[in-house]
Structure 1
Amino acid sequence: MSVSNYLTVPVALTIAGSDSGGGAGIQADLRTFAFHKVHGTSALTCVTAQNTQGVDRVDALPAAAVIAQILAVVRDIGVQAVKTGMLLNPEIIAAVAEQAMEEHLPNLVVDPVMVSRTGSQLIADEAILALRECLIPLATILTPNRYEAQILSASEIDTLESMQAAAQRIFTLGARAVLVKGGGMPGELRGVDVWFDGNRLEVLKTATVETIHTHGTGCTLSAAITANLALGHDMFTAVKLAKSYVTSALHYSLQLGQGQGPVGHFFPLLESSQP
């Protein structure tokens, strides 16, 4: 009779929505956690009907259901890092913020899913206000894209200097560190990110990958940061490692459906399957 070899691994929690197409949301987060050898747990906030061409429907879960999922995980399994994605409405945002404080959720990565990379607002103004007032001050790392950073900094962002200024303004909202993502920036600034933690202002750039199949890059980046924090890396190292992972996953992006496919979260398996 064989005996199981028990393993202990870090645990990460994603509090986010479901993407039925599998490219973003909790599906992307859990694959990213698994790649980093981190056990992934989840608290679902909403269910979307979407594919590579867009979102057809969004149904929010009750805030009480979100709370119950968080408590079920943290009070039994425990977590080393947590990320938030699509929280959708003020009630869910307030509930998540309350649990973050009461349960002392560690290494909280807040991806403020407010506006898409193309500039389309995804949540109501009331939810944006709730994010700003309730959740962002609790964040270990905040990861806004260009358009979210414009809202949070109340400034136009079209140059590297304006990205740097925005990161410093957003930092005053209370997060321990801010990563302004440049995926939506024009020209040579596409993919250039800016980091600010109150002392260190850094410009982060990796190789640009030419592909239209970039669905889920924001979720994947914040999930990879979360996984690396769960593994014990410091904040800045976690961000650098996460950017490297996303770049590699973009090299193996998936051509699925008739629209924008996702990145290749499990790219080592894809590499080994190539002729």
Structure 2
Amino acid sequence: MRIRHVVAVTGALMGLSALALPASGAQAVAYGQHPPVVVGHRGAAAYAPENTLASVDTADRLGISWVENDVQRTKDGELVVLHDTSLARTTNAKKLFPGRSPWNVGDFTLREIEKLDAGSWFSSKFKGERVPTLEEYLEEVEDNGQKLLMELKNPELYPGIERQAIRELRRDGWLDSGHLRRRLIVQSFNADAIKRFHRLDPAVKTGFLGSPTVADLPKYAAYCDQINAPHTAVTRKYVKAVHGLRGPHHRRLEVYTWTVDDAKGAVGIAGMGVDGIISNKPDVVRDALDGDGS
């Protein structure tokens, strides 16, 4: 793994213990055989610029094995990792390309995007951080020995992105049996995109981002292994309904929920039986679920 932003990350990590809310023994709850998986949202987005390699590395230094990202496509057909449709919030695109409003990812070539600073908006310590390609991102996650919850972001804007993402995953070695069993999930808010992805490669574990009605859940179970609902929509009853179905791989459907950043909220949502928690502060969530808080 290449050494990146050592000073910046070290400085960011020095104060992390103060960010974690203490979790008393009374807060520790029984989660069954296993506590929920903790997933770093866009890497470790509370501590480093989201969806960058620095964010992935920060999650790794925190001991977080699962990271989540967002994949979109450039004007010239390259896959990059960025959350917003527009480059404006998390890069200096406005400054470098003042006449290109609204600065949408799909209106810029990879060469243009590679010129952007994707770190300074977060902190001067991350000045010069770049928008990574999916290939670069996969390499970093692989080098760190981490696991990936990959979101196809706004796939309706990028026809064919499902097939292209599969090609990239295959080229980078992410579709072998080991990755498929333990290290990769693909999700989206767009049900049709996940349906297409599942049809193209049924071996990949998939998730739908949202909270379908209980009556509609069987439709999603035909092509989704997970229902990844916002934490505000999660109840014990809803989790039980999801768990009562089997997905395309003949295993119980799972629930990953987002975005939970505090210890009390993490313990509460874990007590409802969710299988995973996505967080900007994954260390806080992990320590709360461990009953540690350190």
Rg (Cα) greater in structure: 2
What TM-score do the two structures reach when normalised by structure 1? Answer: 0.42
Structure with the larger RCO, 1 or 2 (CA within 8 Å, 6+ apart): 2
